[in-house]
Amino acid sequence: MSVHPVILTQSKFLHRDSLKFPFEERGLQFGDGIYEVIRIYAGKYYLLEEHVDRLFRSIEAIKIKLPLTKKELTEQLLELLEKNSMDGDGKVYLQVTRGSAPRDHVFPENVDANIYAYVQDLPRNLAKLENGVSVITLQDIRWDYCYIKSLNLLPNVLAKQEAKENGCYEAILHKNGLVTEGSSSNVYLVKDGTIYTHPATKNILHGCVRMAVERFTKELDIPLIEEAFTLEDIADADELFLTSSTSEVLPIIKVNQDFVQDGKPGKITRLLQQAYEKDANLTKQTVSAHN
Protein backbone atom coordinates (compact mmCIF):
# COMPACT_ATOMS: atom_id res chain seq x y z
CA MET A 1 0.00 0.00 0.00
CA SER A 2 1.01 3.61 -0.50
CA VAL A 3 2.57 5.58 2.35
CA HIS A 4 1.00 9.01 2.81
CA PRO A 5 3.69 11.03 4.63
CA VAL A 6 2.03 14.44 4.94
CA ILE A 7 0.01 15.05 8.08
CA LEU A 8 -2.00 18.04 9.26
CA THR A 9 -1.22 19.40 12.71
CA GLN A 10 -2.01 22.75 14.30
CA SER A 11 -3.09 24.01 10.84
CA LYS A 12 0.31 23.16 9.35
CA PHE A 13 1.37 20.37 7.01
CA LEU A 14 4.52 18.38 7.78
CA HIS A 15 6.06 14.92 7.47
CA ARG A 16 4.46 12.36 9.76
CA ASP A 17 7.83 11.37 11.28
CA SER A 18 8.39 14.89 12.58
CA LEU A 19 5.20 15.06 14.68
CA LYS A 20 6.05 15.39 18.37
CA PHE A 21 4.05 16.36 21.45
CA PRO A 22 5.32 16.68 25.06
CA PHE A 23 4.78 13.63 27.27
CA GLU A 24 2.36 15.72 29.36
CA GLU A 25 -0.30 15.62 26.68
CA ARG A 26 -3.87 15.38 27.93
CA GLY A 27 -4.99 12.94 25.28
CA LEU A 28 -2.18 10.60 26.32
CA GLN A 29 -2.57 11.00 30.09
CA PHE A 30 -6.34 11.47 30.47
CA GLY A 31 -7.90 10.43 27.18
CA ASP A 32 -8.99 14.07 27.21
CA GLY A 33 -9.94 14.41 23.56
CA ILE A 34 -12.10 13.29 20.69
CA TYR A 35 -11.61 11.91 17.19
CA GLU A 36 -13.18 11.14 13.83
CA VAL A 37 -12.52 8.55 11.12
CA ILE A 38 -13.58 9.80 7.69
CA ARG A 39 -13.97 7.45 4.71
CA ILE A 40 -12.36 8.19 1.35
CA TYR A 41 -13.39 6.66 -1.98
CA ALA A 42 -11.37 7.28 -5.15
CA GLY A 43 -9.64 10.21 -3.48
CA LYS A 44 -12.82 11.93 -2.29
CA TYR A 45 -14.32 12.16 1.18
CA TYR A 46 -17.64 10.49 1.90
CA LEU A 47 -19.95 12.18 4.46
CA LEU A 48 -17.30 14.80 5.26
CA GLU A 49 -19.79 17.44 6.38
CA GLU A 50 -21.46 14.97 8.75
CA HIS A 51 -18.13 14.04 10.32
CA VAL A 52 -17.03 17.64 10.78
CA ASP A 53 -20.40 18.50 12.35
CA ARG A 54 -20.09 15.58 14.77
CA LEU A 55 -16.51 16.55 15.64
CA PHE A 56 -17.68 20.00 16.66
CA ARG A 57 -20.56 18.50 18.70
CA SER A 58 -18.04 16.34 20.57
CA ILE A 59 -15.72 19.32 21.08
CA GLU A 60 -18.57 21.36 22.52
CA ALA A 61 -19.64 18.49 24.77
CA ILE A 62 -16.24 18.22 26.46
CA LYS A 63 -15.54 21.97 26.37
CA ILE A 64 -12.47 22.06 24.15
CA LYS A 65 -11.76 25.38 22.44
CA LEU A 66 -10.73 24.78 18.84
CA PRO A 67 -9.28 27.83 17.03
CA LEU A 68 -10.83 26.76 13.73
CA THR A 69 -14.22 27.12 12.11
CA LYS A 70 -15.92 24.19 10.39
CA LYS A 71 -15.14 25.79 7.04
CA GLU A 72 -11.45 26.23 7.86
CA LEU A 73 -11.10 22.66 9.11
CA THR A 74 -12.89 21.29 6.05
CA GLU A 75 -10.58 23.22 3.72
CA GLN A 76 -7.52 21.88 5.53
CA LEU A 77 -8.81 18.28 5.36
CA LEU A 78 -9.34 18.66 1.63
CA GLU A 79 -5.83 20.06 1.25
CA LEU A 80 -4.48 17.08 3.21
CA LEU A 81 -5.69 14.72 0.47
CA GLU A 82 -4.14 16.91 -2.23
CA LYS A 83 -0.76 17.05 -0.49
CA ASN A 84 -0.73 13.25 -0.21
CA SER A 85 -1.85 12.80 -3.85
CA MET A 86 -4.62 10.59 -2.51
CA ASP A 87 -6.64 9.11 -5.35
CA GLY A 88 -7.63 5.69 -3.98
CA ASP A 89 -9.79 4.28 -1.18
CA GLY A 90 -8.77 5.12 2.36
CA LYS A 91 -9.56 6.98 5.53
CA VAL A 92 -8.44 10.02 7.49
CA TYR A 93 -7.93 9.79 11.23
CA LEU A 94 -8.52 13.15 12.91
CA GLN A 95 -7.84 13.77 16.61
CA VAL A 96 -8.30 16.79 18.87
CA THR A 97 -7.14 16.94 22.50
CA ARG A 98 -7.28 19.66 25.13
CA GLY A 99 -3.56 20.23 24.67
CA SER A 100 -0.23 19.84 26.46
CA ALA A 101 0.13 21.03 30.07
CA PRO A 102 1.40 19.89 33.49
CA ARG A 103 -0.74 16.95 34.63
CA ASP A 104 -3.81 18.08 36.58
CA HIS A 105 -7.39 16.86 36.41
CA VAL A 106 -8.63 20.45 36.17
CA PHE A 107 -8.62 21.99 32.69
CA PRO A 108 -5.42 23.98 32.02
CA GLU A 109 -5.80 27.67 31.21
CA ASN A 110 -4.42 29.42 28.12
CA VAL A 111 -3.41 26.15 26.44
CA ASP A 112 -3.98 25.48 22.75
CA ALA A 113 -5.75 22.33 21.66
CA ASN A 114 -3.63 19.73 19.90
CA ILE A 115 -5.02 18.62 16.55
CA TYR A 116 -3.67 16.30 13.90
CA ALA A 117 -4.93 14.28 10.96
CA TYR A 118 -3.35 11.70 8.67
CA VAL A 119 -4.28 9.54 5.68
CA GLN A 120 -4.27 5.74 5.45
CA ASP A 121 -5.16 3.41 2.59
CA LEU A 122 -8.26 1.30 3.24
CA PRO A 123 -9.60 -0.92 0.44
CA ARG A 124 -13.20 -2.08 0.65
CA ASN A 125 -13.62 -5.56 2.15
CA LEU A 126 -15.77 -6.97 -0.63
CA ALA A 127 -15.70 -10.53 0.70
CA LYS A 128 -17.25 -9.50 4.02
CA LEU A 129 -19.71 -7.15 2.34
CA GLU A 130 -20.78 -10.01 0.06
CA ASN A 131 -20.89 -12.86 2.56
CA GLY A 132 -21.53 -11.21 5.91
CA VAL A 133 -19.82 -11.59 9.28
CA SER A 134 -20.19 -13.33 12.63
CA VAL A 135 -20.55 -11.47 15.93
CA ILE A 136 -20.68 -12.18 19.65
CA THR A 137 -22.76 -10.49 22.33
CA LEU A 138 -21.25 -8.82 25.41
CA GLN A 139 -22.45 -6.68 28.29
CA ASP A 140 -22.07 -2.96 27.57
CA ILE A 141 -19.76 -1.65 30.31
CA ARG A 142 -19.00 1.75 28.78
CA TRP A 143 -19.82 5.17 30.22
CA ASP A 144 -23.16 6.90 29.67
CA TYR A 145 -21.97 9.54 27.18
CA CYS A 146 -21.24 7.35 24.16
CA TYR A 147 -22.62 10.04 21.83
CA ILE A 148 -19.27 11.80 22.35
CA LYS A 149 -16.63 10.24 20.10
CA SER A 150 -14.16 10.12 22.95
CA LEU A 151 -10.59 8.79 23.01
CA ASN A 152 -11.55 6.66 26.03
CA LEU A 153 -11.98 3.43 24.11
CA LEU A 154 -10.61 0.74 26.44
CA PRO A 155 -14.00 -1.02 26.90
CA ASN A 156 -14.47 -0.97 23.11
CA VAL A 157 -10.96 -2.34 22.58
CA LEU A 158 -11.55 -5.18 25.06
CA ALA A 159 -14.86 -6.05 23.39
CA LYS A 160 -13.34 -6.01 19.90
CA GLN A 161 -10.46 -8.20 21.08
CA GLU A 162 -12.85 -10.73 22.64
CA ALA A 163 -14.75 -10.84 19.36
CA LYS A 164 -11.51 -11.55 17.51
CA GLU A 165 -10.50 -14.28 19.97
CA ASN A 166 -13.85 -15.93 19.28
CA GLY A 167 -13.33 -15.79 15.53
CA CYS A 168 -15.82 -12.94 15.08
CA TYR A 169 -15.77 -9.55 13.40
CA GLU A 170 -17.63 -7.50 15.99
CA ALA A 171 -19.17 -7.55 19.47
CA ILE A 172 -22.82 -6.53 19.87
CA LEU A 173 -23.14 -4.71 23.19
CA HIS A 174 -26.19 -4.80 25.46
CA LYS A 175 -27.28 -3.35 28.77
CA ASN A 176 -29.02 -6.17 30.64
CA GLY A 177 -30.28 -7.70 27.43
CA LEU A 178 -31.19 -4.44 25.64
CA VAL A 179 -28.95 -4.00 22.57
CA THR A 180 -27.20 -0.63 22.32
CA GLU A 181 -24.64 -0.88 19.48
CA GLY A 182 -21.42 -2.62 18.46
CA SER A 183 -17.96 -1.96 19.86
CA SER A 184 -17.29 0.25 16.80
CA SER A 185 -20.57 0.24 14.88
CA ASN A 186 -24.30 0.82 14.98
CA VAL A 187 -26.48 -2.31 14.90
CA TYR A 188 -29.85 -2.96 13.24
CA LEU A 189 -32.47 -5.72 13.30
CA VAL A 190 -34.95 -6.39 10.49
CA LYS A 191 -38.30 -8.06 11.23
CA ASP A 192 -41.28 -8.31 8.86
CA GLY A 193 -39.85 -5.65 6.56
CA THR A 194 -39.19 -3.08 9.31
CA ILE A 195 -35.76 -2.00 10.57
CA TYR A 196 -35.20 -1.49 14.30
CA THR A 197 -32.25 0.23 15.95
CA HIS A 198 -31.48 1.87 19.30
CA PRO A 199 -32.66 5.51 19.52
CA ALA A 200 -30.03 8.22 19.09
CA THR A 201 -29.66 8.88 22.83
CA LYS A 202 -26.49 9.67 24.77
CA ASN A 203 -25.95 5.92 25.21
CA ILE A 204 -24.82 5.35 21.61
CA LEU A 205 -22.67 7.04 19.01
CA HIS A 206 -24.75 8.85 16.40
CA GLY A 207 -23.00 7.31 13.42
CA CYS A 208 -22.55 9.24 10.19
CA VAL A 209 -23.39 6.14 8.15
CA ARG A 210 -26.35 5.67 10.49
CA MET A 211 -27.61 9.09 9.38
CA ALA A 212 -27.11 8.08 5.75
CA VAL A 213 -29.05 4.84 6.32
CA GLU A 214 -31.95 6.83 7.75
CA ARG A 215 -31.95 8.84 4.55
CA PHE A 216 -31.80 5.69 2.42
CA THR A 217 -34.77 4.11 4.19
CA LYS A 218 -36.90 7.16 3.46
CA GLU A 219 -35.90 7.09 -0.21
CA LEU A 220 -36.61 3.34 -0.42
CA ASP A 221 -39.81 3.58 1.67
CA ILE A 222 -38.51 1.05 4.19
CA PRO A 223 -39.90 1.54 7.71
CA LEU A 224 -37.23 2.34 10.30
CA ILE A 225 -38.15 2.52 13.97
CA GLU A 226 -35.72 3.90 16.55
CA GLU A 227 -36.60 1.39 19.21
CA ALA A 228 -34.11 -0.77 21.08
CA PHE A 229 -34.41 -4.51 20.55
CA THR A 230 -33.34 -7.30 22.89
CA LEU A 231 -31.05 -10.30 22.72
CA GLU A 232 -34.18 -12.43 22.63
CA ASP A 233 -35.41 -10.53 19.57
CA ILE A 234 -32.25 -11.50 17.71
CA ALA A 235 -33.27 -15.15 17.74
CA ASP A 236 -36.34 -14.31 15.62
CA ALA A 237 -34.73 -11.65 13.41
CA ASP A 238 -35.15 -11.86 9.64
CA GLU A 239 -31.91 -9.92 9.13
CA LEU A 240 -29.20 -8.18 11.12
CA PHE A 241 -26.62 -5.70 9.91
CA LEU A 242 -24.18 -3.13 11.23
CA THR A 243 -22.89 0.19 9.92
CA SER A 244 -19.77 2.30 10.32
CA SER A 245 -17.47 4.42 8.18
CA THR A 246 -15.00 1.56 7.75
CA SER A 247 -17.54 -1.30 7.58
CA GLU A 248 -20.16 0.45 5.40
CA VAL A 249 -23.45 -1.54 5.53
CA LEU A 250 -22.30 -4.98 6.63
CA PRO A 251 -24.55 -8.07 6.93
CA ILE A 252 -24.46 -10.08 10.17
CA ILE A 253 -25.08 -13.75 9.42
CA LYS A 254 -24.20 -15.38 12.75
CA VAL A 255 -24.61 -14.33 16.40
CA ASN A 256 -22.61 -16.34 18.91
CA GLN A 257 -23.19 -19.88 17.61
CA ASP A 258 -26.53 -19.27 15.91
CA PHE A 259 -27.10 -18.34 12.28
CA VAL A 260 -29.50 -15.53 11.38
CA GLN A 261 -32.17 -17.32 9.35
CA ASP A 262 -30.35 -19.21 6.54
CA GLY A 263 -27.00 -17.58 7.28
CA LYS A 264 -27.08 -15.38 4.19
CA PRO A 265 -27.40 -11.57 3.85
CA GLY A 266 -31.02 -10.48 3.55
CA LYS A 267 -32.93 -8.49 0.96
CA ILE A 268 -33.22 -5.23 2.91
CA THR A 269 -29.54 -5.28 3.82
CA ARG A 270 -28.72 -5.70 0.12
CA LEU A 271 -30.96 -2.77 -0.81
CA LEU A 272 -29.19 -0.56 1.73
CA GLN A 273 -25.77 -1.69 0.50
CA GLN A 274 -26.73 -0.71 -3.02
CA ALA A 275 -28.09 2.65 -1.81
CA TYR A 276 -24.81 3.26 0.03
CA GLU A 277 -22.77 2.49 -3.07
CA LYS A 278 -24.89 4.80 -5.18
CA ASP A 279 -24.65 7.59 -2.62
CA ALA A 280 -20.86 7.23 -2.38
CA ASN A 281 -20.51 7.06 -6.19
CA LEU A 282 -18.93 3.62 -6.05
CA THR A 283 -18.89 2.30 -9.60
CA LYS A 284 -16.18 -0.38 -9.60
CA GLN A 285 -16.00 -3.75 -7.81
CA THR A 286 -19.12 -3.06 -5.80
CA VAL A 287 -21.10 -5.62 -3.88
CA SER A 288 -24.12 -4.74 -6.06
CA ALA A 289 -22.32 -6.24 -9.03
CA HIS A 290 -22.17 -9.60 -7.26
CA ASN A 291 -25.94 -9.94 -6.93
Domain with residue 192: its CATH number is 3.20.10.10
Task: Tell me the pTM.
Answer: 0.95
The residue from 73, 88, 121 where one domain ends is 121
Residues 213 and 80 grouped into a single domain: no
Phi, psi of 191 (to 5 degrees): -140, 125
DSSP-derived secondary structure for 89-149: SEEEEEEEES-B-SS-SSPPSS-PPEEEEEEEE----HHHHHH-EEEEEEE--S-S-TTS-
DSSP-derived secondary structure for 205-244: ---HHHHHHHHHHHHHT--EEE---BHHHHHT-SEEEEEE
Q: Evaluate whether residue 142 is within a structural domain.
A: yes
Structural domain boundaries, residue 67? 6-121
> Tell me, what's the pLDDT at 1?
66
- pLDDT above 80: residue 54: yes
Residues 159 and 117 grouped into a single domain: no
**How does pLDDT run across 90-110, given as a tens digit for each residue?**
999 999 999 999 999 999 999
Q: Evaluate whether residue 90 is within a structural domain.
A: yes
Residues 133 and 99 grouped into a single domain: no
Active site (catalytic) residues = 149
Percent of the chain with pLDDT over 70: 97
Residues 135 and 167 grouped into a single domain: yes
Q: Tell me whether strands 133-139 and 170-175 are parallel, antiparallel or unpaired.
A: parallel
Q: Evaluate whether residue 1 is within a structural domain.
A: no
The residue from 77, 93, 121 where one domain ends is 121
The residue from 121, 156, 177 where one domain ends is 121
Number of domains present in the structure of the chain: 2
Average pLDDT of the residues in 131-149: 98
Domain with residue 114: its CATH number is 3.30.470.10
